[in-house]
């Protein structure tokens, strides 16, 4: 087979595609590393030194972003906003019953909520299940006390964030100032010492 025919073969085409894909992924990783290097720590040292263990995948925003004004519903169907809890550290978990990692991590969020009772901390587990699955979601949260049932059946909140998210689960941590200080994409253990250290640090900030 001539070199010209070999160059135009499907095998070579696949190889070129794979190499381009690898190059793009590598470029994305480099951009991410560079962007992380320029993140400015928050007041009192920020959270950068606490991105370890179960919190090693915690993303710290380069710029402060206030919680969106988008409302969601409480257990009684009353509109609620993240800003209603300003003055407290707010842990917002976006989840759904069809999301296996969401279901697996929920008991750890319940453990976090239990451990933080009596402190200025609130854990909001907000279901994005549609109305037809609301009862299923409510029943699931009922098995994860002391978490309360909140829902966003139109999935408005995830796309109101800065930047928006389509990942489930996504957990966001807002400080007393109502600003997002960190977020986690994917499942994590929120009931351990690593998460507790993040909460403790934000509680120190007035």
pTM: 0.79
pLDDT of residue 89: 98
Strand order of the sheet with strand 72-73? 79-80, 72-73, 150-151, 121-127, 89-95, 170-174, 180-185
Q: What is the pLDDT of residues 43-90, one digit of tens each?
A: 344 899 999 999 999 999 988 899 999 999 999 999 999 999 999 999
Dihedral sign, Cα of residue 65, residue 171, residue 166, residue 47? positive
Per-residue confidence band for 18, with pLDDT thresholds at 50, 70 and 90: very low
Kindly give the pairing relationship between strand 79-80 and strand 72-73.
antiparallel
The span from the CA of 94 to the CA of 55, in Å, is 17
* pLDDT more than 70, % of the chain: 78
Q: Measured in whole angstroms, how far is the alpha carbon of residue 152 from the centre of its chain? A: 15
pLDDT for 64: 84
State the DSSP H helix or E strand holding residue 125, giving kind and residue range, or none if neither: strand 121-127
């Amino acid at each position: 087979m001539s070199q010209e025919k070999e160059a135009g073969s499907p095998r070579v085409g696949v190889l070129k595609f794979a190499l381009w894909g690898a190059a793009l992924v590598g470029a994305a990783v480099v951009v991410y590393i560079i962007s992380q290097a320029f993140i400015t720590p928050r007041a009192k040292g920020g959270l950068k030194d606490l991105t370890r263990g179960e919190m090693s995948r915690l993303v710290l925003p380069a710029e402060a972003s206030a919680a969106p004004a988008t409302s969601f519903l409480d257990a009684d169907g009353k509109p609620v906003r993240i800003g209603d809890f300003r003055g407290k550290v707010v842990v917002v978990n976006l989840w759904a019953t069809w999301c296996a990692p969401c279901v697996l991590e929920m008991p750890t969020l319940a453990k976090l909520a239990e451990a933080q009772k009596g402190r200025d901390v609130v854990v909001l587990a907000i279901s994005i299940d549609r109305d037809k699955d609301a009862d299923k979601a409510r029943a699931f949260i009922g098995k994860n006390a002391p978490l309360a049932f909140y829902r966003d059946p139109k999935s408005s909140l995830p796309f109101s964030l800065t930047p928006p998210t389509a990942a489930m689960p996504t957990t966001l941590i807002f400080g007393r100032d109502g600003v997002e200080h960190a977020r986690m994409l994917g499942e994590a253990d929120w009931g351990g010492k690593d998460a507790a250290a993040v909460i403790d640090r934000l509680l120190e900030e007035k």
